[in-house]
C-alpha cells in the first residue's frame, strides 16, 4: 500500500512541477532577466572605474556555459520538475506516516494539512530568515555559508513543526482539540522566533556604485525587481504545494477511504484505536 501512495505522490509531483515551471517561466524569469541586466551594467561600470577589472558573474553569453534560452527553459524546467518530484515523494512519506495517527481525518483533508505544513516549515519560515535572491545580489565567497545556514533553518523548522504536532496530540485530552492546537501553534511560533534571533543574518543587496569623489556612477539594485522576484518565488512554491495537495488528495482518497483499518494493520499501527470512519 505504501508504494501505491508514494506512486500517487510522484504523479502529483510531476503535475505540480509542470504547473510550477509554467508559473515561474511567466513571472520569475522576467525578474531574473532584469537582475542580469543590472549585473551586466554594474560590471561595465566597474570596468570603466577600475581599468578593465572584471565584476559580476557569467551567465553563458560568452560561451562559458548555457545561454539564457537553455537556462530559462530546459534548465529551469528540469530543476523545478526534479525539485517538485523530490518534495512530492517526501510529502507522500509524511502522509503515509501521519494517516490514521494524527486524528480522525480523511485522506483528502490530511493531504491539505500535510502540504500546508510542509510549505510553511520547509519554505515559508526559512524564506523569512533567508529569502531567495536573484543574480547580482549574492557574493560568490558567501555561497557555502548561505547554503549551510538555509539548510539548517529548513531542518530546524521542520523539527519544530514535528515537535509541535506531537505536543498538540499529547495535550488534546487535557485541553481539548482547539486549545491544544493553539498551544502547539504557539510553541512552534516561539521556537521559530528563537531561531530567527539566534541564526546570523545575511545582507548582500548591492548599494550604489560610487567613484573616488563620492559621485554615484551606477544606482543600487532596483527595489521593485527584488520585491517582485521574491514575491513570485513564494507564489511559485504556493502553486507547487497546492497542486501537489489537490492532485494527490482525490487519488489517495480513492485508494484509502474505507481501507483505513487494513492500512494501519499493514503498517504496524493496527492497535492505534483510531475510529474506522474519518471526518472531512
DSSP secondary structure string, 55-78?
A: -S---STTSSS--HHHIIIIIHHH
Which neighbouring-strand residues pair with 210? 216
Q: Alpha-carbon distance 137 to 200, whole Å?
A: 18
Q: How many residues does the chain have?
A: 280
Q: Does residue 131 belong to any structural domain of this protein?
A: yes
Mean pLDDT, contiguous 10-residue spans, the chain (280 residues)? 91 98 95 90 81 46 61 89 97 92 85 96 96 81 88 96 92 89 95 96 83 81 93 97 97 79 55 43
Distance separating alpha carbons of residues 34 and 221, to the nearest angstrom: 10
Q: Rounded to an integer, what distance in angstroms lies between the CA atom of residue 15 and that of residue 242?
A: 11
Euclidean distance between CA atoms 160 and 73, whole angstroms: 36
- Residue pair 133/204 in contact (Cβ under 8 Å)? The answer is yes
Domain endpoint, select from 204, 232, 250: 204
User: Which cell numbers hold the place of 141?
Assistant: 565567497
Q: Is residue 68 in a domain?
A: yes
Write down the pTM of the prediction.
0.84
Query: Is there a domain that residue 273 lies in?
Result: no
- Tell me how far apart the alpha carbons of residues 91 and 15 are, in angstroms, rounded to a whole number: 14
Residues 142 and 128 reside in one and the same domain: no
Per the listing, cell 534548465 goes with: 75
In a domain, 149, yes or no: yes
Domain count of the fold of the chain: 2
C-alpha 128 chain-centroid distance? 11
Both 86 and 197 in one domain: the answer is no
pLDDT for the residue numbered 20: 97
* Together in a domain, 54 and 20: yes
Q: Are 160 and 177 part of one and the same domain?
A: yes
The predicted structure's pLDDT at residue 46 = 77
Q: What's phi and psi for 279, nearest 5 deg?
A: -95, 165
Q: d(Cα 221, Cα 274) in Å, to the nearest integer?
A: 55
Separation CA 87–CA 240 (nearest Å): 9
Q: Determine the pLDDT at residue 272.
A: 42
pLDDT for 275? 40
Asked whether residue 111 falls in the same domain as residue 19, the answer is yes
* One domain for residues 130 and 197: no
Amino acid at each position: 500500500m505504501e508504494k501505491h501512495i508514494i506512486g500517487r505522490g510522484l504523479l502529483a509531483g510531476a503535475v505540480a512541477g509542470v504547473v510550477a515551471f509554467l508559473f515561474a517561466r511567466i513571472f520569475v524569469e522576467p525578474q531574473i532577466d532584469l537582475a542580469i541586466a543590472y549585473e551586466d551594467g554594474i560590471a561595465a561600470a566597474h570596468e570603466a572605474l577600475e581599468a578593465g577589472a572584471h565584476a559580476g558573474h557569467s551567465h553563458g553569453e560568452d560561451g562559458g556555459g548555457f545561454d539564457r534560452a537553455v537556462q530559462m527553459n530546459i534548465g529551469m524546467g528540469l530543476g523545478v520538475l526534479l525539485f517538485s518530484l523530490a518534495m512530492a515523494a517526501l510529502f507522500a512519506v509524511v502522509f503515509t506516516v501521519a494517516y490514521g495517527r494524527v486524528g480522525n481525518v480523511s485522506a483528502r483533508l490530511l493531504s491539505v494539512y500535510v502540504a500546508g505544513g510542509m510549505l510553511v516549515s520547509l519554505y515559508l519560515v526559512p524564506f523569512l530568515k533567508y529569502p531567495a535572491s536573484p543574480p547580482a545580489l549574492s557574493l560568490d565567497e558567501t555561497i557555502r555559508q548561505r547554503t549551510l545556514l538555509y539548510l539548517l533553518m529548513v531542518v530546524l523548522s521542520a523539527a519544530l513543526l514535528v515537535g509541535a504536532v506531537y505536543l498538540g496530540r499529547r495535550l488534546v485530552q487535557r485541553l481539548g482539540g482547539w486549545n491544544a492546537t493553539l498551544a502547539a501553534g504557539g510553541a512552534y511560533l516561539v521556537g521559530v522566533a528563537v531561531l530567527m534571533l539566534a541564526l546570523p543574518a545575511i545582507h548582500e543587496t548591492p548599494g550604489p556604485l560610487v567613484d573616488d569623489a563620492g559621485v554615484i556612477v551606477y544606482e543600487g539594485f532596483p527595489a521593485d525587481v527584488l520585491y517582485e522576484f521574491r514575491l513570485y518565488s513564494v507564489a511559485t512554491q504556493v502553486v507547487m504545494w497546492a497542486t501537489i495537495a489537490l492532485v494527490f488528495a482525490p487519488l489517495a482518497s480513492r485508494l484509502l477511504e474505507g481501507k483505513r483499518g487494513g492500512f494501519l494493520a499493514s503498517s504496524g499501527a493496527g492497535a492505534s484505536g483510531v475510529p474506522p470512519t474519518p471526518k472531512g
